[in-house]
Amino acid sequence: MTTTVKNYVPRRTWLVWASLIALTLVTGAFGTSMPFSHSVTTAVVVAIALFKVRLIGTDFMELRCAPRPLAAAFDVYLVVVYVGLVGMYLLL
């Protein structure tokens, strides 16, 4: 007798995955059309990329269920990386 195992993927996982795909397409479109100056475009593309990192961290690396200080440290880290990257881009 054979048994069938159904793979269950929670709805939130599908929504996050679809959001990541949509944000990737938005980043590509925004980065190639450049409706604003290079500085603004770079800041927006980096912000979208780090938001995608946050989605991956909270949902796929399960920081959503982690202790609050760890999740807060991850968010602070992302802000520091954003400020550092955009700051270096603007200064150099």
Asked if the structure places residue 47 within a domain, the reply is yes
Q: In 5-91, where do the E strands start and end?
A: none
Asked if the structure places residue 23 within a domain, the reply is yes
Asked if the structure places residue 65 within a domain, the reply is yes
Structural domains of the chain, count? 1
CA distance 65 to 15: 18
Domain, as residue range, for 51: 11-91
User: pLDDT (tens digit, 0 to 9) for every residue of the chain, 92 residues total?
Assistant: 566 667 777 888 999 999 999 999 999 988 788 778 888 888 999 999 999 999 999 999 989 899 999 999 999 999 999 999 999 999 88
Q: Long-range contacts for 60-67 (Cβ within 8 Å, ≥24 apart)?
A: 60/13, 60/16
- Between the CA atoms of 81, 43, 18 and 58, what dihedral angle is there, to the nearest 10 degrees? 20
Asked if the structure places residue 72 within a domain, the reply is yes
Asked if the structure places residue 4 within a domain, the reply is no
With 0.75 as the threshold, say if the pTM is over it: yes
Asked if the structure places residue 2 within a domain, the reply is no
What count of Cα atoms within 13 Å lies in the side-chain half-sphere of residue 82?
Answer: 18
